[in-house]
Structure 1
Amino acid sequence: MTDDTGSDKSTSDKEAAEVGHDAVGPDASPAEFHKPGKRLTLGHIADQLGISTATVSLALRDSPLVAEDTRAKVKKTAEEIGYIYNRSAASLRTARSQIVGVAVHDILNPYFAEVFTALEDVLEEQGQMIFICNHRDDVKRQRAFINTLLQHRADGLILCPSVGTTAEEINRLVGQGVPVTLMCREVPGVWAPCVHGDDVAGAYAVTKHLIDQGHEKIGMIGGRRESSTGRDRHAGWLRALEESDLDPEKQVDVPELMTQADGRRVAPQIVASADRPSALMCFNDLVALGMMPVFRRMDVEPGPDMAITGYDDIDGAASRTPALTTVCNHADKIGRLAALTLLRQVAGERVPNKPILIEPDLRIRESSPPKGIRLGPRLVE
């Protein structure tokens, strides 16, 4: 017997049974599907509709090989009887799980929310489900997540690597045939592509802007220097200072800060510094936005009294008072390119293991004027 896909029903049912899909008799009533302990299978739907399990499986995956009305009937029957598609069994047949893992160090950072949105748009178009890990720069958490992905036969991994990630462990995955794409942070020596912004260029541009505004005491605030992003933004700051004959050793340089809480905590230290800077280049927008209200409470007005810049151009940076000068790191573009690069590998294409650099854009706003100049409105006391 054949159905509208041309599949042989008896053969397809036999194949389904081999992966644990037990068929039921043609006279089974819908009530039997709800007996305690009765596991619903593709065979139940197939027998209900008189088609093969292969057709049912294709219909549940929205395959164009199945007529649209047949797909609708299969999905309606599955919903009525409470069937949940067995993705694990499907992955055994197709060698594809339709699962992609995505791991970053700070899921609470709005920048990564923008990256995730772009990733999801691309991956969901291809029917991929996303497993998310917030590893918090704990390499053990990251490794546990990757092990879980391997157990679920994930199709690939998009990774903003934790501090402490080695090239060897990434290369081991690649050597096992697991598609891997890094984003935002590089790991030297990996056999995988990496999509990220040109952090040296972005940090150089924003520091040069502060120098052009007449500032000579420009502090660098934040960034994990064990990560490529922290090192590169610090390198861009150093390069701009040295080109203008400003001694980096005479500048305030506070590493490791990443969050608004970090910014709030360090702000009094900056104000109390014996050689207080007139401008700050912050590792990201969160650190900058955390410091600004603390400065105000200490009677130091952001902008006129302390020029402040951020990095990433997160949602809301332009609507603060003063509006924050920052570097747009194009989260949407990085997310889309990371997803597309991974999908190319999943499809079997060989992708060069080299960085894919996204050029950043400097967004000059009110928070970075020359010393003593107010560009934004004064807040009402």
Structure 2
Amino acid sequence: MSDEESGSKTEPHRQSNQESHGLIDRSAPEPYLLKPGKRLTLGHIADQLGISTATVSLALRESPLVAEETRLKVKQTAEEIGYIYNRSAASLRTARSQIVGVAVHDIQNPFFAEVFSALEDVLEAQGQMIFICNHRDDVKRQRAFVNTLLQHRADGLILCPSIGTTAEEINRLVGQGIPVTLMAREVSGVWAPCVHGDDIKGGYLVTKHLIEKGHTRIGMVGGRRESSTGRDRHVGWKRALTEAGLNPSHQLDLPELMTQADGRLAVTTILEADERPTAIMGFNDLVAFGMMTSLRRAGIEPGPEMAITGYDDIDGADSRTPALTSVCNHADKIGRLAALTLLRQVTGERVPNNPILIEPELRVRESAPPPGVRLAPIVL
């Protein structure tokens, strides 16, 4: 048997070119090589640093009980050896998972992108991770997401409720001690707070603006009337018309439309109406954008030949041609207040289940002039 096979002799160490030129750092910690199926634990970090596992755990949770220098060493070592903090195990010890679920019906709507941005700023500052669900107004999809959150022991839920959501299912969560905050849409009879814009007032303001510009045939396009948002904006539209002596039942009213594609398709119906409207209140900016595109293709200029308004004042509304008159719903404020309201519940505070209304603001631009009038771009 050869020396190599028997292992009776050790081959002299030959220094590589890389070592001789200082390209390999022999002082760096050796990586942990574990058997398949084994996971790195807090103990590995503790052993490497010569401290207790309790100290390691506190350091990874940013506890002020651990000195800053120690926290930095623990984090650096965890990163070097590839340790991933086990939130599930930590939640069993602390009853907190640092996970918050957020569910909305249309994640592609830029309004919700603005809401999410504000939510993240607040929640991440408190160490919370966000799980997102786009339930698409499918209540079964929403319920499956909520069940998954419960299995992960989530700290709370921020929900723009799907059509078909019942007060009973929300109240069941609240009754189990799970913090819940609704946003954008209300559900009557729930035991949870709700942060949303004053949609009745917003619908009233924009319709009144069109009436003051001399329009008497003012249609409304869009909005799921089973949702509080669709219902309330519709109520505001009707209230302004009735106040001005105009019969809402004599106006064009096309419900359920929500997207740009819906707005484009609605134009055929608008143009074929027995009494074609001279102005349209779009349920949201996306519907308004879609209508403006199809009207222009049909040879009708949005603004002078048909006034168009939107709702939400999303990014880009002011840069369209013509710039879109819209109701600012303050998406950032809705997101921020929804997150803060949930965090108050997470810390054990009892929050009244009253609606938290955000005051809407009408942003007047070029798309909704008096009949036949072309407005010049507003120079800021």
TM-score, normalised relative to structure 1 = 0.90
Question: Retained in 2: the 8 A contact 1:115–1:332?
Answer: yes
Question: Retained in 1: the 8 A contact 2:221–2:253?
Answer: yes
Displacement of 1:242 in angstroms is 0.3
Displacement of 1:267 in angstroms is 1.1
Matches within 5 A, 1:208-227: 208-227=208-227
Matches within 5 A, 1:319-334: 319-334=319-334
Q: For 1:33 and 1:79, how far apart are their aligned partners in 2?
A: 15
Question: Retained in 2: the 8 A contact 1:101–1:154?
Answer: yes
Matches within 5 A, 1:225-304: 225-304=225-304
User: Does the alignment pair 1:68 with 2:68?
Assistant: yes
Displacement of 1:62 in angstroms is 1.6
Q: Match of 1:91?
A: 91
Q: For 1:360 and 1:291, how far apart are their aligned partners in 2?
A: 23
Q: Match of 2:25?
A: none
Q: Please give the per-residue CA displacement for 1:59-80, whole angstroms capped at 9, x wherever unaligned.
A: 1122221111111111111111
Question: Retained in 2: the 8 A contact 1:321–1:376?
Answer: no
Q: Please give the per-residue CA displacement for 1:194-235, whole angstroms capped at 9, x wherever unaligned.
A: 000000000000000000000000000000000000000000
User: What is the DSSP-based 3-state SS (H/G/I as helix, E as strand, rest coil) of the residue aligned with 1:158?
Assistant: strand
AA at the equivalent of 2:50: G
User: Does the alignment pair 1:188 with 2:156?
Assistant: no
Displacement of 1:271 in angstroms is 1.4
Q: Match of 1:120?
A: 120
Aligned residue pairs total 349
Question: Retained in 2: the 8 A contact 1:181–1:338?
Answer: yes
Matches within 5 A, 1:4-19: none
Q: For 2:334 and 2:258, how far apart are their aligned partners in 1?
A: 20
Q: Match of 1:104?
A: 104
Q: Which runs of 4+ in 1 moved over 4 A?
A: 29-32
Displacement of 1:35 in angstroms is 3.7
Q: Please give the per-residue CA displacement for 1:307-351, whole angstroms capped at 9, x wherever unaligned.
A: 000000000000001000000000000000000000000000000
Q: For 1:32 and 1:130, how far apart are their aligned partners in 2?
A: 31
Q: Match of 2:58?
A: 58
AA at the equivalent of 2:89: A
Q: Match of 2:349?
A: 349
Question: Retained in 1: the 8 A contact 2:133–2:142?
Answer: yes
Q: For 2:171 and 2:264, how far apart are their aligned partners in 1?
A: 39
Displacement of 1:32 in angstroms is 4.6
Question: Retained in 2: the 8 A contact 1:60–1:75?
Answer: yes
Moved more, 261-270 or 235-244: 261-270
Q: Match of 2:23?
A: none
Question: Retained in 1: the 8 A contact 2:323–2:366?
Answer: yes
Displacement of 1:58 in angstroms is 1.2
User: What is the DSSP-based 3-state SS (H/G/I as helix, E as strand, rest coil) of the residue aligned with 2:158?
Assistant: strand
Question: Retained in 1: the 8 A contact 2:32–2:81?
Answer: no
Q: For 2:62 and 2:97, how far apart are their aligned partners in 1?
A: 15
User: How large is the Cα RMSD of the aligned pairs?
Assistant: 1.0
Q: For 1:31 and 1:110, how far apart are their aligned partners in 2?
A: 45
Q: Match of 1:168?
A: 168
AA at the equivalent of 1:368: A
Displacement of 1:38 in angstroms is 2.4
User: What is the DSSP-based 3-state SS (H/G/I as helix, E as strand, rest coil) of the residue aligned with 1:33?
Assistant: coil
Q: For 1:228 and 1:275, how far apart are their aligned partners in 2?
A: 29
Q: Please give the per-residue CA displacement for 1:280-312, whole angstroms capped at 9, x wherever unaligned.
A: 001000000011111011111000000000000
Moved more, 136-145 or 260-269: 260-269
Q: Match of 1:313?
A: 313
Q: Match of 1:178?
A: 178
Q: For 1:337 and 1:82, how far apart are their aligned partners in 2?
A: 37
User: Does the alignment pair 1:148 with 2:145?
Assistant: no
User: What is the DSSP-based 3-state SS (H/G/I as helix, E as strand, rest coil) of the residue aligned with 2:33?
Assistant: helix
Displacement of 1:31 in angstroms is 5.0
Q: For 2:376 and 2:182, how far apart are their aligned partners in 1?
A: 39
Q: For 1:126 and 1:255, how far apart are their aligned partners in 2?
A: 40
AA at the equivalent of 2:204: Y
Q: For 2:291 and 2:243, how far apart are their aligned partners in 1?
A: 28
Q: For 2:275 and 2:30, how far apart are their aligned partners in 1?
A: 80
TM-score, normalised relative to structure 2 = 0.90
